[in-house]
Amino acid sequence: MVKGVSGLKSFGKVRDKLNKVGKGFCLAKWNQVSILLQTGQTHSCHHPAPHHIPLEEIKDNPSALHNTKFKKLQRKTMLHGGRPKECDYCWNVEDANKESFSDRVLKSGEDWALPYFDEIKESTGDEDVFPPYVEISFSNQCNMACSYCDVKSSSNWQHEIEKLGPYPTSGNYNNTDWMENLPIPHREENPYVEAFWKWWPDLFPRLHTFRITGGEPLLHKDTFKVLDYIIENPTINPKIELCVNSNLSVPDGLWEEFLDKVKYITDNDLVWNFVLFTSIEADGKQAEYIRDGLDAGVLWNRVDEFLTKCEKPEVTIMAAFNALSISSYHKVIQKVYRLKKIYGSTKRYRDYSIILDTSYIRHPEFLDFRILTPDWLEKINELSRFMEDLGMHKYEHVDGYHEVGFFDFEQEKVRRMTDMFTDNQSWVEKQRKDFVLFIDEYDKRRGKNFQETFPEMEDFYDLCKGT
């Protein structure tokens, strides 16, 4: 979510500023980090593949959870004008359309990044830095097993693979043999979690944004430990933005405890902002097919409950664009728009209380939307036009007029999907073969029926079957 800049012209200014250093320069490499404590891995944001954190590096320096020797090499590459291969998510977006804005630009324009531009530009790349934006996963403990997820992020996936083995795709999807470290169970001692809590007292006062991911964070004791720390230390950093991911499908007791703590924190202004992130990218049964274990009705009801009980926080709907989501994606857009109309009022912190965040699934590749036939491109164009029609406009609310609709950055993330179809037929054919192999096995293991759930994709499935 880009709040530090607004409008396409501002995005362009950020890109020009970055490109003066180098066309691979990205402030997120310094100022953002995603850390998987359950596997001892880190990456600068969620796009590059995570890399291992050597235990010897964090022994005397817990900040090496972010400042690994590997990451410092990537920073140097960027400072010297290079484009690190691990960041190809953004290079793919930029190379597909020179006018598109990759997350390199969107992230660098954030207010946790852009103010540090001059300081980072003049750095050597060797410095240890305190990242203003930190994402932490304490555990892979999760009560769901989404189709595009993996062992690192879901204990249910881990248990399935341990019992039944990997999927019979060309790459043996979710094969754990290649993994350097399997996730450490959340009930066991974890040296990476211990290093985090050693780092925390020095890190917390410097944070702009702290986000807890998973697994399912509401099943993790460390999530509630963070909430309690903020409640017990109300004056250390009241300017922090606190974010928690959740599938919103946890038992009632945990959900109610979470609601109560968040309400206390926000009612007493212990943080600048609280953001609840939740994921859904399709409608009804199709959403539940993609995200195994989901009750779509419960998710939307709990979003309403959260926004009703906690009047100040923000909700971001993460809708991951993939081969299975396109046909009902417009219904997600409609539901997000409904939330904007109801809860984006002037009584709340700000008008952007509800955000739609669109990314695209790259892994597994056989669920990448680019494996679809060209006729699906028009459906994506329709989605883009649909969002444009729902762009920012005045809306009469019970508390007066306010702006409602989709911001430039929300529209841009959907718009850019139309530029990304590929003419690499060998890659497409390979992924279509794997698509069928995965779907057939997924249905068998999970007791699902793809063709009943996605009747509009029958022709595509048959095409893949015959590939």
**188-208 confidence digits (pLDDT tens):** 789 999 999 999 999 999 999
Tens-digit pLDDT profile for residues 91-102: 988 998 888 889
pTM above 0.85, yes or no: yes
Range in 222-231, 296-305, 353-362, 448-457 the model is least confident about: 353-362
* pLDDT for 4 beyond 80: no
User: Mean pLDDT in the chain?
Assistant: 91
Tens-digit pLDDT profile for residues 374-410: 889 888 889 988 888 887 776 666 666 667 888 888 8
Residue 460 and residue 406 in one domain: yes
Distances (CA, A) of 450 to 1, 98, 273, 439, 461: 33, 37, 40, 7, 9
Does residue 241 fall inside a structural domain?
A: yes
Which residues have CB under 8 Å from 240's CB, separation 6+? 204, 207, 208, 209, 210, 230, 271, 272
Residue 152 and residue 109 in one domain: no
77's tokens: 């590459």
Residue 344 and residue 297 in one domain: yes
Residue 381 and residue 400 in one domain: yes
Pairwise CA distance, residues 291 & 157, whole Å: 12
Residue 61 and residue 29 in one domain: yes
- Residue with the larger pLDDT of the pair 298 and 423: 298
Does residue 60 fall inside a structural domain?
A: yes
Pairing verdict, β 133-137 and 400-404: unpaired
* pLDDT for 244 beyond 70: yes
439's tokens: 């779907």
Residue 38 and residue 151 in one domain: no
Query: Taking the mean position of all CA atoms in its chain, how far away is CA 171?
Result: 24
Tens-digit pLDDT profile for residues 97-149: 888 889 999 999 999 999 999 999 999 999 999 999 999 999 999 999 999 99
127's tokens: 């410095």
Residue 317 and residue 426 in one domain: yes
Does residue 45 fall inside a structural domain?
A: yes
Residue 349 pLDDT: 47
Residue 260 and residue 375 in one domain: yes
Residue 126 and residue 146 in one domain: no
Which residues have CB under 8 Å from 255's CB, separation 6+? 218, 248, 302
* pLDDT for 2 beyond 60: no
Q: Which residues of 131-148 are buried (b: 16+ CB within 10 A; e: fewer)?
A: bbbbbbbbbbbbbbbbbb
Residue 263 and residue 324 in one domain: yes
Does residue 369 fall inside a structural domain?
A: yes
Q: Which of 94, 115, 132 is the last residue of a domain?
A: 132
Q: Which of 102, 132, 162 is the last residue of a domain?
A: 132
Residue 407 pLDDT: 84
Residue 402 pLDDT: 67
Does residue 19 fall inside a structural domain?
A: yes
Residue 79 and residue 175 in one domain: no
Which residues have CB under 8 Å from 218's CB, separation 6+? 244, 246, 250, 254, 255, 258
- Give the chain's length: 467
Residue 353 and residue 400 in one domain: yes
Number of domains in the chain: 2
Does residue 96 fall inside a structural domain?
A: yes
* pLDDT for 270 beyond 70: yes
- Residue with the larger pLDDT of the pair 353 and 94: 94
User: What CATH code is carried by the domain that includes residue 392?
Assistant: 3.20.20
Three-state DSSP at 291 gives strand
Domain that holds residue 450: 140-183+216-465
Decide: 279 and 154 in contact? Cβ < 8 Å.
no
123's tokens: 């750095």
**Residue 227 CB-density burial (10 A; 0-12 exposed, 13-18 middle, 19+ buried):** buried
Residue 1 pLDDT: 42
Percentage with pLDDT > 70 across the chain: 94
Pairwise CA distance, residues 197 & 189, whole Å: 13
Residue 377 pLDDT: 86
Q: Which of 132, 149, 164 is the last residue of a domain?
A: 132
Does residue 411 fall inside a structural domain?
A: yes
Give the dihedral sign, CA 42/139/232/275.
Answer: positive
Does residue 204 fall inside a structural domain?
A: no
Range in 32-36, 449-453, 463-467 the model is least confident about: 463-467
Tens-digit pLDDT profile for residues 298-338: 999 999 999 999 978 899 999 999 999 999 999 999 999 99
Q: Would you place residue 341 in the very low, low, confident or very high pLDDT band (cuts 50, 70, 90)? A: confident
